[in-house]
Structure formats: structure tokens, C-alpha cells
Amino acid sequence: MTEPHAYAVHRSWDRDYHIIERTEGVYLYDTAGKRYIDGTGGSSVVVSIGHGVKEVPAAMHRQAEEFSFYPAHAFSNQVFRDLSERIVKMAPGTMRGNAKVWITCTGTDATDDAIRLARQYWVEKDVMSKYVVITRWQAFHGNNIAIAGYSGITGRRSIFQPMFVDSPHIPPAFCYRCPFEMERATCRLKCARVLETTIRQVGAENVAAFIAEPVVGAALGVAPAPDGYFEVIRDICDRYDVLFIIDEVMTGFGRIGTTWGIEQWGVTPDIIATAKGITSGYTPLSAVLAHNDIWQPLIDNNSPFKAGHTLNANAVSCAGAMAVLDYLEENDLVERSAAMGAYLLEQMRAKLLPHPTVGDVRGRGLMAGFELVADKVTKEPFDPALHVSKRLEDIAFERGLITYPCTGSVDGYAGDMTLLAPPLIITCEQIDEMVDILDASIGELEAQLA
Ligand SMILES: Cc1ncc(COP(=O)(O)O)c(C=O)c1O
């Protein structure tokens, strides 16, 4: 490994990075001409329509030639309005045609603003006491100081812990390592029902909202909530006047085989935070989508939404998002995600699960993951000091596949996982290539560990 760059701060200090030169479809090429499969759709779960789709930069270029930036306190822009209308027409359940959209920049902005909206909703209704946001352990909702606190990734929280607001975290919905050590057949979804206990302990009069990802991404190496989970959550939120925010930053726009992840549980949230797939990474843009009922108290009080960033509703990014959504629709990529996702999972089960270190393979649509264990029967994790998932990432990288290593499935520290989320355009042949590389890489890792 060479020395890190003298001026640019990267994620790791212990190495320098290969420089990326160009991208196309599911492939990335570095300046040495080496080709990699983008097995994670960026870092991570971003690239939906594939790399190098010319229509997207062309749409952004056309918009930039008209204007890119303007005083947003004084004007609106048409493409922002068009994108908002389009998203509302795609919205899940009772939100469809009955919601409004706030466009901002990053996934963290979206979850932060979703939580702001929840608090402001109660304040505008004169319910001043409701401010607590209940979240889950091993969840990730973003990376500013507030949201890192609401998130449940222990390693990313640790040094900032004293700066967080005190907010309750319930255990994750994670069947492979059920936090209640129960079996799915008899658990009656205790992981969902515990929300009610927590609301009662905190006092429903204090609780503004509950936030969750439909499929936990980076924090649990892809863990879809069990069937029925969000139905129970919705019911509890309704009974205790708690807003239900779904974090669709990773899952929105087809990633798990439906436009929205939450559709697969058949319930409608009050507020959705979304990002990543909406622009497929071509440009930063995120959105908060909320039912009209949630915006109404602000409108009634003529009270502006108390959030906002300088680059919100950026016209060039909105034009990029419109072009991405066109491509997604014209190429039926949502349906493709479901079909290719089923194939990916089947191949992973066939070729990866037989490895002695692969304890679990899981996923929905083209969001999949697997867990690496020291003992398959007891599910004993590897010693975190071995950095097993990181080592697998390095081996797969050398073999031309980008994977995303995750840790902490057991207790926030131990528990090695690998996340996969290739672009939705991936073919069966490319999935075969991906899984074959993983198969060989896991074999190499196992030989090292032995
Ligand atoms: C579920 C989820 N929510 C929020 C975020 C934050 O998004 P961003 O990194 O764009 O701020 C992420 C990022 O990975 C995420 O996975």
C-alpha cells in the first residue's frame, strides 16, 4: 500500500486509493485500465440506472445552460415543481396524489428534515410536549450530529455520544440474530410490539415520531423487516398519535423491487425521506415526501417549514432526477430489480451459503447481503480485530468486484457482513460473474483465516 495523498482527506489513512477514470453500465475503470463490477451501486446502494447514461448529464447540461442557481427565497423553478408532482404521483398508498414534496440535498438532510417536520407538525397543532423520536439500534439514518444520535450504528456514534439528544432506541427487526432470542413462528413480532412498551415508558404525550428503514442497509448488511412488522408499527403509531417516518434513502425508487420499500408491507407512512436512487448518484438530491395532513397545520398557521439549505431544490439536480426517473420507467427497472434480485439471491444461496464462514444470505430485490461467522452452528462472530469483512472487500477488489463491508450485527461491534446492491440494469451473466468472484474471494479469505 502506498502513502495517503498529502492534501485530500480520504476515508482511510493507511493506504492510497486507485483513481477512477470512467464508468459505464455496471462497470468502473481505474486509471490503470482495470475493470471492476460495481457490486454496491456506489458507497452504498445509490446507482440505480447504471453508470454513464448520457441522457442524465444531457438534461442537467440543458438546465445549467438556462440557469443553475437563483435566489430561492424570491423565485421557484419549474423543474422542481415538475419533479415534486411526479414524486407525489408515484407515492405509496394514500399519499398518492395527496402529498407534498420538499427537495433538499443529501440523505441526511432528508431524514433530518423529516424529523423537523414531525416536530413542527405537533408544535403547529399546539401539542408542544411531543419531541421524542424513537429509533432502532443497528439502524442508519445519516451523519450529521443529530442524526448520528438518532441512528444506531455504535461505532459511528461512539465519540459523539456526549453531544446527542437523549432518544430511545428499540432493538432491530433482525431474525438471523433475533434480539429477543425468539423464533419467527412464535415471536408474534415482539421486535415491533416493543415500540408500544417504549412509547408508554417515555409517555406518548412526549413522542413525536418513530423512524425506521424498511430494509436495514449498512448497519445490518441488508436486513429486511419480517412480514407483518410495519403493519404492527403502523397500528401502534396510530393508537399513540406518533408519526411514522420511513427512511427510504436506500430503498426508494425500485431498489427492492417496488417503487417504495414500504409498499411491500402494505402500509402508508406519514413521512418518507428518500435520496440516492432518485438521481442514481449523478447529482446530489434528496426529498421529504409527506401526506397533506402533515403539511396542513403549517399551512393553517401560515407557518413556513422551519428547515432549508442554500442548494435546496437545485434546478440542475432536479433536471437530473427527472432524467433518471424517465430512464427507470422506460426501461422497467423496478420490475427488473425484483426479477434480478431473485436471481442474485438464488445464486448467493447456491454458491456462497455452502462456505463454512457464510452464516446467512439475505435480501430483497437488488439489495442483498451475507454474514460471515466463525461458527455456522452457534453463529459465533469473528473477533472484530480480524477485520474479516474488510479483508473480504480487499480480496474482492483485487479480483475486480466492489463490495461494501459492514460490522456490528451482534452488538454494534462484532459481526461481519457484506452488502451488495448492483445497478438495477445488471444482467444474469453479470450476476454470475459477481457471485463467482465472491465465491473465490471467500475461499481465499477462508484459506487466510485457517
Ligand atoms: C438508510 C439511510 N438513511 C440516510 C442516509 C444518509 O444519506 P447521505 O449519506 O446521503 O447523507 C443513508 C446513507 O447511507 C442511509 O443508508
Average confidence (pLDDT) per 10 residues, the chain, 450 residues: 83 90 98 97 95 98 96 95 98 98 98 98 98 98 96 91 94 98 97 98 98 97 98 98 98 98 98 98 98 98 97 97 98 98 98 98 98 98 98 98 97 96 98 98 97
Task: State in Å: Cα 169 to ligand 1 middle.
Answer: 18
Phi, psi of 91 (to 5 degrees): -65, 155
* 440 Cα to the center of ligand 1, angstroms: 30
Per-residue pLDDT, 305: 98
In this structure, the dihedral spanned by the alpha carbons of residues 53, 56, 58 and 62, taken in order and rounded to 10 degrees, is: 180
d(CA 213, CA 246): 6
Atom of ligand 1 nearest to the CA of 213: 1
pLDDT of residue 15: 83
Contacts of residue 237, Cβ cutoff 8 Å, sequence gap at least 6: 195, 210, 243, 244, 270
**What's the pLDDT score for residue 44?**
87
Is the backbone of residue 313 left (phi > 0), alpha (psi -120 to 50) or beta? left
pLDDT at 418: 98
Residue 275 Cβ contacting ligand 1 at under 6 Å:
yes
User: What pLDDT does residue 14 have?
Assistant: 86
Q: Does the C-beta of 142 come closer than 6 Å to ligand 1?
A: yes
Q: In angstroms, rounded to a whole number, what is the distance separating the alpha carbons of residues 168 and 172?
A: 12
**Structural contact between residues 106 and 292, judged by C-beta atoms closer than 8 angstroms:** no
Q: Which has the closest alpha carbon to 403: 40, 36, 47?
A: 40
Q: Which ligand 1 atom is at minimum distance from the Cα of 111? A: 4
Quote the pTM value.
0.98
250 CB less than 6 Å from ligand 1?
yes
